[in-house]
């Protein structure tokens, strides 16, 4: 064993490498190639290299620009603002709350996270529908009702993503808050620092690395949401909740333009890789 | 004396008030999160279910009885089980093997390899589904169980390898060295010593991979075509979308049946790890 040749030692890596190369690296390379072709779904015999035509086309396409804008709104609203802030608030409150309440809240929030994506989509579809629960609650409170999925579809799907994804931030921040030594918070309290000042000057700086990691992972997860929006609105009405993954799907399959759809996919992949690299940098300073 | 007493009591009373405030705030949030969940639970047993949360007209199992047919429930759930079971077995097997040299034999290549793996964990898989579809059409893997299983495994492998390597680092090397002295091979010490000792870690990787695949909609939606091969995540969507009048009670009943296994699995693992906070920690690196 101790004398085994280095080549023999790396043998166990082979199965994983084969699967990863064939089914992950391969498709990514293929993605890069067909993004520059005019491949169509209809199975024409030859697709030809068209250079940057797909990309030039994208930036002149109003539907694409609309999708970019909606993806931005969706990501900022649901990931940066929603999941992140709500997750931190939940984690902070859980540290102070009594145990039964903590367990109950944790259980409910985590259940929303563990549910299959499609089921989460149904639940929130029912919640936001004109005859759904949200409007019932608004009636009860005497507030005006809305047809949420029609008037503000992007807001509805953003809320849905917050509902589904907050548990992750909550878990990350709970772990981070547990690592802050109690003496530090107590010392600040004795010195008369109020809740908000303690949060701003002590808690947030101490968990800044967790905030960075969490934001990156949330954003990456949010960028690839498809099923949730598909079930709730199909990207509609009139493309008003069509984020990039749904736009890419529509171009590739409804409009049969695989090449164009893949070009959009490549752009999404590039943005994702950028976030991924930032995430790695964050981890590296931590390790 | 009374002064000191008062001094000692005030902070504790303030703490109690604060705890009450935190409890109330959390309960309000929990209620907001619970509303959509309440809908699915109540509608599943409500003979006249609609779209809003309400007290059921009466208790009935008719909704469950209506969906417990081969077409609606048994075949899709069996397909899900085959797909996710196959994908998970492949993922866990490959990850356990790959993690061993990464954890045990120092090499200059380990660090770049692990960084690449970590980079791949956070790539948006959704983005490559269109080219994967095109590629699968070309190589005749479209609409096959094995093709989808392999793709599932490839998409989960980076994270599984990363988790597995970290768990394996936690198993002390001395135990293995003793086995090597007794003439055990690396394969034997992996199977007989390392894997049994990292039982909880192995359970986390297995359950996590399975849960991710079980809930995944986009991959089978793109890679499978025939209705009789569809897993529950896709078939439920047809059931919901392609019937003019939607029977909400049945939809809710099906959602309950389809979601229960992953929730149970999660509870199982979370218990063993004391709260399930390990995943958050593992992701943090």
Q: Give the separation between CA B167 and CA B263, rounded to whole angstroms.
A: 23
In a domain, B130, yes or no: yes
Residue (of B281, B284, B268) closest to B203 by Cα position:
B268
In a domain, B202, yes or no: yes
Q: Which helix (H) or strand (E) holds A271?
A: helix A258-286
Q: Say if the Cβ atoms of B127 and A277 lie within 8 Å.
A: no
* CA A81 to chain CA mean position, Å: 12
Q: Say if the Cβ atoms of B51 and A133 lie within 8 Å.
A: yes
Q: Is A149 on the interface with B (CB under 8 A)?
A: no
In a domain, B15, yes or no: no
In a domain, B232, yes or no: yes
Task: Calculate the CA dihedral of residues B24, B27, B33, B37 and round it to 10 degrees.
Answer: -150
Q: How far is CA B80 from CA A184, A253, B3, B259, in A?
A: 50, 24, 68, 12
Q: Say if the Cβ atoms of B30 and A105 lie within 8 Å.
A: yes
Q: Which of A127-131, B57-61, B156-160, B181-185 has the highest mean pLDDT?
A: B156-160
CB-based burial label for A36 (10 Å; 0-12, 13-18, 19+)? buried
CATH number for B148: 1.10.3720.10
CATH number for A158: 1.10.3720.10
Q: Say if the Cβ atoms of A93 and B153 lie within 8 Å.
A: no
- What chain B residue is nearest to A264 in terms of C-alpha separation? B127
In a domain, B59, yes or no: no
Residues in chain B, overall count: 285
In a domain, B22, yes or no: no
Lowest-pLDDT range, A69-73, A94-98, A201-205, B57-61? Answer: B57-61
pLDDT score, position B171: 83
In a domain, A246, yes or no: yes
Q: Is B23 on the interface with A (CB under 8 A)?
A: yes
Q: Is B42 on the interface with A (CB under 8 A)?
A: no
Q: B43 is written with which tokens?
A: 């509608």
pLDDT score, position A97: 86
pLDDT score, position B150: 94
Task: Kindly tell me if the per-residue pLDDT of B52 is higher than 80.
Answer: no
DSSP secondary structure, B223-284, as one string: H--SGGG--HHHHHHHHHHSSSS--HHHHHHHHHHHHHHHHHHHHHHHHHTTSSTHHHHHHH
pLDDT score, position A74: 92
Cα radius of gyration (chain B) = 25
In a domain, B24, yes or no: no
Provide CB contacts within 8 A for B265, sequence distance 6+. Answer: B207, B210, B211
Q: Say if the Cβ atoms of B217 and A117 lie within 8 Å.
A: yes
Residues in A touching B43 (Cβ below 8 Å): 126
Q: Give the separation between CA B88 and CA B90, rounded to whole angstroms.
A: 5
Q: Is A39 on the interface with B (CB under 8 A)?
A: yes
Nearest CB among A171, A262, A286 relative to B131 is that of A262
User: What DSSP state is assigned to residue A89?
Assistant: H
Total number of domains constituting chain B: 1
- What chain A residue is nearest to B261 in terms of C-alpha separation? A115
Task: Kindly tell me if the per-residue pLDDT of A185 is higher than 70.
Answer: yes
pLDDT score, position A89: 92
Q: Is A65 on the interface with B (CB under 8 A)?
A: no
- What chain A residue is nearest to B92 in terms of C-alpha separation? A16
In a domain, A119, yes or no: yes
Q: Say if the Cβ atoms of A116 and B125 lie within 8 Å.
A: no
How distant is the Cα of B45 from the closest Cα of chain A, in angstroms?
Answer: 15
Task: Kindly tell me if the per-residue pLDDT of B5 is higher than 70.
Answer: no
In a domain, B57, yes or no: no
pLDDT score, position B243: 52
| SS3 at position A49 | strand
pLDDT score, position B242: 56
pLDDT score, position B285: 35
In this structure, how many other beta carbons lie within 10 angstroms of the beta carbon of residue A281? 12
- Residue corresponding to tokens 């005030």: B10
pLDDT score, position B203: 86
CA angle at B189 for the pair B185 and B192, rounded to the nearest 5° = 130
| SS3 at position B56 | coil
In a domain, A215, yes or no: yes
Note the pLDDT tens digit of each residue in A241-284.
899 999 989 888 888 788 888 888 888 888 888 888 887 787 76
- Plot region of A64 (φ>0 → left; ψ -120 to 50 → alpha; else → beta): alpha
In a domain, A44, yes or no: no
In a domain, A34, yes or no: no
Total number of domains constituting chain A: 1
Q: Which of A47-61, A223-237, B183-197 has the highest mean pLDDT?
A: A223-237
How confident is the model over A57-78, as a mean pLDDT? 88
Are the C-beta atoms of B229 and A87 separated by less than 8 Å? Answer: no
Note the pLDDT tens digit of each residue in B113-154.
888 888 888 788 888 888 888 888 888 888 999 999 999 999
Domain span including residue A233: 53-286
pLDDT score, position B46: 79
Task: Kindly tell me if the per-residue pLDDT of B168 is higher than 70.
Answer: yes
In a domain, A11, yes or no: no
In a domain, A155, yes or no: yes
Domain span including residue B93: 71-248+258-284
Lowest-pLDDT range, A172-176, A260-264, B65-69? Answer: B65-69
pLDDT score, position B281: 43
Residues in B touching A86 (Cβ below 8 Å): 29
pLDDT score, position B11: 58
Query: What proportion of chain A, given as a percentage, has pLDDT over 70?
Result: 94
Mean pLDDT of chain B: 82
pLDDT score, position A42: 62
Nearest CB among B40, B131, B214 relative to A265 is that of B131
CB < 8 Å from A in window 95-154 of B: 95, 97-98, 100-102, 105, 107, 115, 118-120, 122-135, 150-151, 153-154
Residues in B touching A210 (Cβ below 8 Å): 284
Query: What proportion of chain B, given as a percentage, has pLDDT over 90?
Result: 20
How distant is the Cα of B212 from the closest Cα of chain A, in angstroms?
Answer: 8
CB < 8 Å from B in window 249-278 of A: 249, 252, 258, 261-262, 265-266, 268-269, 272-273, 275-277
How distant is the Cα of A202 from the closest Cα of chain B, in angstroms?
Answer: 19
How confident is the model over B36-44, as a mean pLDDT? 87
Note the pLDDT tens digit of each residue in B196-212.
888 888 888 898 899 88
Task: Kindly tell me if the per-residue pLDDT of B88 is higher than 70.
Answer: yes
Task: Kindly tell me if the per-residue pLDDT of B278 is higher than 70.
Answer: no
Lowest-pLDDT range, A31-45, B26-40, B72-86, B183-197? Answer: A31-45
- What chain B residue is nearest to A86 in terms of C-alpha separation? B29
Q: A73 is written with which tokens?
A: 């709104």
Q: Give the separation between CA B183 and CA B189, rounded to whole angstroms.
A: 10
Mean pLDDT of chain A: 84
């Amino acid at each position: 064993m101790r004398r085994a040749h280095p080549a023999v030692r790396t043998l166990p890596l082979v199965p994983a490498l084969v699967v990863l190369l064939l089914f992950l690296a391969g498709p990514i390379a293929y993605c890069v190639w067909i993004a520059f072709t005019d491949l169509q779904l209809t199975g024409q015999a030859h697709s030809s290299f068209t250079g940057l035509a797909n990309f030039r086309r994208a930036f002149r396409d109003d539907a694409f620009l609309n999708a970019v804008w909606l993806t931005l709104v969706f990501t900022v609203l649901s990931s940066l603002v929603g999941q992140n802030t709500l997750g931190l608030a939940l984690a902070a409150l859980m540290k102070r709350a009594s145990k039964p309440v903590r367990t109950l809240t944790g259980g409910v929030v985590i259940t929303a996270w563990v549910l299959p994506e499609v089921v989460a989509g149904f639940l929130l579809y029912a919640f936001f529908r004109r005859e759904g629960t949200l409007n019932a609650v608004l009636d009860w409170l005497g507030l005006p009702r809305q047809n949420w999925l029609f008037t503000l579809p992007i807001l509805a799907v953003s809320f849905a993503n917050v509902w589904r994804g907050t548990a992750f931030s909550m878990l990350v921040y709970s772990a981070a808050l547990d690592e802050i030594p109690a003496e530090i918070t107590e010392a600040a309290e004795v010195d008369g620092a109020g809740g908000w000042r303690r949060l701003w000057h002590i808690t947030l700086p101490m968990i800044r690395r967790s905030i960075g990691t969490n934001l990156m992972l949330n954003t990456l997860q949010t960028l690839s949401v498809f099923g949730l929006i598909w079930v709730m609105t199909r990207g509609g009405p009139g493309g008003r909740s069509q984020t990039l993954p749904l736009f890419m799907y529509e171009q590739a399959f409804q409009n049969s333009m695989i090449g164009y759809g893949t070009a959009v996919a490549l752009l999404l992949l590039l943005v994702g890789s950028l976030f991924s690299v930032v995430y790695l940098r964050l981890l590296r300073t931590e390790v | 004396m009374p002064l000191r007493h008062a001094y000692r009591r005030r902070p504790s009373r303030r703490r109690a008030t604060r705890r009450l405030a935190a409890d109330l705030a959390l309960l309000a949030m929990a209620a907001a999160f619970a509303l959509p969940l309440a809908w699915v639970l109540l509608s599943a047993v409500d003979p006249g279910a609609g779209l809003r949360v309400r007290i059921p007209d009466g208790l009935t199992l008719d909704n469950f009885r209506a969906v417990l047919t081969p077409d609606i429930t048994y075949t899709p759930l069996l397909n899900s089980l085959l797909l996710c079971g196959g994908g998970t077995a492949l993922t866990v097997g490959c990850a356990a093997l790959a993690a061993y040299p990464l954890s045990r034999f120092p090499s200059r290549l380990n660090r770049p390899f692990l960084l690449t793996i970590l980079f791949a964990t956070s790539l948006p898989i959704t983005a490559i589904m269109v080219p994967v579809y095109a590629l699968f059409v070309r190589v005749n893997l479209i609409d096959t169980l094995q093709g989808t299983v392999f793709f599932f495994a490839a998409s989960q492998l980076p994270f599984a390898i990363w988790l597995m390597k970290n768990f394996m680092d936690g198993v002390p090397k001395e135990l293995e060295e003793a086995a090597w002295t007794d003439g055990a091979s690396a394969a034997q010490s992996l199977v007989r010593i390392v894997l049994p000792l990292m039982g909880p870690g192995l359970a986390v990787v297995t359950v996590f991979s399975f849960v991710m695949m079980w809930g995944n909609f986009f991959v089978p939606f793109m890679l499978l075509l025939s209705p009789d091969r569809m897993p529950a995540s896709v078939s439920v969507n047809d059931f919901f979308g392609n019937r003019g009048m939607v029977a909400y009670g049945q939809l809710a009943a099906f959602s309950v049946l389809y979601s229960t296994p992953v929730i149970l699995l999660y509870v199982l693992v979370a218990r063993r790890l004391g709260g399930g906070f390990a995943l958050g920690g593992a992701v943090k690196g």
